[in-house]
């Protein structure tokens, strides 16, 4: 049976890069998780075991460390663009270098003292090509909850349906949101801060008849606020909260008027959607290796 090599890429996953800026007595932390991948003509490596065109993954790791100092980390997007361009220059057989960066937040408690902040993680996926580059920015593990102004009713019902309609329910999710830029000439940090503020404001201010409706509203608001964005994509697990039934309890007068819930971690509904600007340029393969959008 005949066969051929299909799509392939290789790189170094999850290099933990911590850059401390010591230029003044007030230090800064850039705490990163960096993954790199090269795509191109690596047929010889796969078919013949010939590594002549392969830039070792160890070299990719070392470059990630070196560029944290040589280029700096003014923003994770800027750092990823520079790192991707360097890897592409170092590997002639590659046609694209993809760099994924997660940034973990720390809160300052002194000039050189910090405490690690839990919760949402800032992300970027940058694909640097020989002619064009694509920048995706985003956030993951953004845990959100509305304790009212959410309903879910009017859905299909068949012989296996047990879910009751809800006029007033908790709406909660741990959001992954990723948005695609149409230009690399922007203030990455200001854009991220504004995007996060838009997502939070819209989630809090939208009456929801379904998580789908809320995501659409959030995506539309983000595109309206930032004309330099082509699209936004969401992966949103529905973090179910079920009202506890006090009926079997032997306590007179004990009622549960939407006050006590059990938080269920699985199974859960998973809602994924994209909101796209009408005149958005195509994404190509920029979304490859982005969690939730494989």
Catalytic residues: 12, 57, 240
- Separation CA 14–CA 167 (nearest Å): 44
The secondary structure of 74-93, three-state, reads: CCHHHHHHHHHHHHHHHCCC
Which helix or strand (DSSP H or E) is residue 62 part of? helix 57-70
Cβ-based neighbour number of residue 107 at 10 Å: 10
d(CA 138, CA 121): 9
Task: Please report how the helices 57-70 and 76-90 are oriented relative to each other, as an axis angle in degrees rounded to 10.
Answer: 130
Distances 233 to 185, 236, 237, 273 between C-alpha atoms, Å: 22, 10, 13, 6
Question: What tokens does 196 get?
Answer: 């996060």
């Amino acid at each position: 049976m005949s066969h051929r090599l299909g799509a392939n890429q290789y790189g170094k996953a999850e290099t933990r890069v911590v850059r401390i800026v010591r230029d003044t007595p007030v230090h800064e932390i850039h705490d990163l998780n960096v993954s790199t991948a090269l795509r191109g003509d690596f047929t010889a490596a796969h078919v013949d075991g010939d590594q002549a065109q392969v830039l070792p993954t160890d070299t990719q790791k070392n470059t990630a460390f070196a560029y944290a100092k040589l280029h700096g980390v003014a923003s994770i997007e800027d750092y990823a663009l520079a790192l991707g361009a360097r890897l592409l220059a170092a590997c002639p057989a590659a046609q694209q270098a993809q760099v994924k960066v997660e940034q973990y937040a720390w809160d300052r408690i002194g000039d050189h003292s910090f405490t690690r902040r839990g919760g949402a993680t800032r992300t970027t996926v940058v694909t640097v090509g020989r002619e064009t580059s694509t920048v995706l920015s985003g956030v993951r593990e953004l845990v959100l909850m509305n304790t009212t102004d959410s309903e879910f009713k009017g859905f299909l019902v068949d012989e296996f349906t047990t879910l009751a309609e809800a006029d007033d329910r908790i709406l909660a999710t741990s959001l992954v949101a990723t948005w695609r830029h149409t230009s690399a000439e922007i203030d990455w940090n200001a854009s991220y801060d504004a995007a996060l503020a838009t997502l939070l404001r819209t989630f809090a201010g939208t009456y929801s008849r379904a998580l789908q409706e809320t995501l659409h509203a959030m995506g539309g608001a983000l595109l309206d606020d930032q004309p330099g964005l082509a699209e936004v994509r969401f992966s949103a697990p529905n973090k179910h909260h079920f009202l506890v039934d006090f009926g079997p309890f032997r306590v007179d007068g004990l009622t549960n008027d939407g006050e006590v819930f059990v938080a269920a971690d699985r199974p859960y509904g998973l809602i994924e959607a994209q909101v796209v600007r009408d005149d958005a340029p195509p994404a190509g393969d920029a979304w490859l290796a982005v969690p939730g959008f494989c």
